[in-house]
Structure 1
Amino acid sequence: MKHIIAVIGVLAVTSLFAHLNAQNIVLGPVLTDYYSVKDALVGSDAKAAAEKAGTLVRDIDGVDMHAIPAKDHMAFMSLKDKLAFDARHISESTDLAHQREHFASLSANMASLAKKARLSEQPVYQEYCPMKKSSWLSNDSSIKNPYYGSSMLTCGKVTGTLKP
């Protein structure tokens, strides 16, 4: 009987820590939205990129600053305005070239955030396009270039993996 109670206790504590761990990823929606913008640019879909960037702006502005861990809070606050600026520019444009220019800056700032704050339970891949001389983040190690879309879809390489 004592063993059963001990096992139940261990399972309860493990479940509690997993739940708390998941709650501490307050910035997860920002990364998910970023990936959606990237995917729209990979597909050269300016309208979808604008819509997804609009969602990203709303989620950046809507981050619950009281729920975010202190380390993540400091990292996010130092980049929040820059992230929102580029996301807003992407959301207000249907010019794919203009969107991709702001995506390069957005990606650089997202990479800075990903290196300082916990954004995901999964690895985040930093990928690089030598033609554009710009990086982007991905949840997949396969190359799908958001700067050139189908014209140079696989141009680039993984330059780093950010572990959770």
Structure 2
Amino acid sequence: MKNQILGLAFIGLISTTYACTNPTKTVNEETASTETEQVAVNPKFTDAKVNEVYQHYIHLKTALVNNDNKEAEMGAKMLQKAMSDAEIDTKSIDAVVAVNNVETKRAKFNDLSNELASVFKKSKLESGIVYKQYCPMANDGKGGYWLASESKIKNPYYGEKMLGCGSIEEEIK
């Protein structure tokens, strides 16, 4: 019985590892590069306030990817102000600003990302693509979304521990 339980635990571990080291590609072959990193083109929105929100969101996301609490604090506060200036509901960013370390900020990041994805879908892009990406393991296995300027996965929920875990779920054009 003990060996069966250990065997099942091992299979579960291998399955979870495989899921995040071999994500399913959801973008067609013409737009996804499998061996070379695509050059990120910073998306630009026609509305300057929405554009500022996006740039500060990317600042916060990058700080989470880099596990940099000081930059995450700064990015979150700048995003909070930009969202307020753009008259976008700030409850989700207020929750990120209220916590004081990278791990708890990551726990609040999914709600913020989903809220801003809705905002960006309704806004007009002048250039570039916003990639909505997803990690099935984030948030204790509940999954988590984030937005990116590049198709290459850089997971803000795990940083360097599982940098490439995730897949592209949607392109906002």
TM over 0.5: yes
Q: Say whether 1:30 aligns with 2:53.
A: yes
CA contact (8 A) 1:145 1:154 kept: yes
Q: Greater RCO between the two (CA within 8 Å, min separation 6)?
A: 2
The 4+ residue runs of structure 1 with deviation greater than 3 A are 21-26
Match of 2:148 in 1: 138
Report the Cα offset of residue 86 of structure 1: 2.4
CA contact (8 A) 1:28 1:120 kept: no
RMSD after superposition: 1.9
Computing the radius of gyration from Cα coordinates, the structure with the larger value is 1
Stretches of structure 1 that go unaligned for 5 or more consecutive residues are: 1-20, 64-76
Pairing partner for 2:80 from 57, 77, 101: 57
CA gap of 1:61–1:108, structure 2 versus 1, over 3 A, is: same
CA gap of 1:22–1:48, structure 2 versus 1, over 3 A, is: closer
CA contact (8 A) 1:50 1:92 kept: no
State TM-score, norm by structure 1.
0.70
User: What amino acid does structure 2 have at the position aligned with 1:87?
Assistant: I
CA contact (8 A) 2:117 2:132 kept: yes
Pairing partner for 1:153 from 163, 167, 173: 163
Match of 2:97 in 1: 91
Equivalenced residue count is 126
Partners of 1:150 and 1:86 in 2: CA distance: 25
CA contact (8 A) 2:47 2:123 kept: no
Stretches of structure 2 that go unaligned for 5 or more consecutive residues are: 1-43
CA gap of 1:97–1:122, structure 2 versus 1, over 3 A, is: same
State TM-score, norm by structure 2.
0.67
Moved more, 115-124 or 37-46: 115-124
Pairing partner for 1:126 from 107, 124, 132: 132
Report the Cα offset of residue 88 of structure 1: 2.4
User: What amino acid does structure 2 have at the position aligned with 1:153?
Assistant: L
CA contact (8 A) 1:123 1:139 kept: yes
CA gap of 1:22–1:39, structure 2 versus 1, over 3 A, is: closer
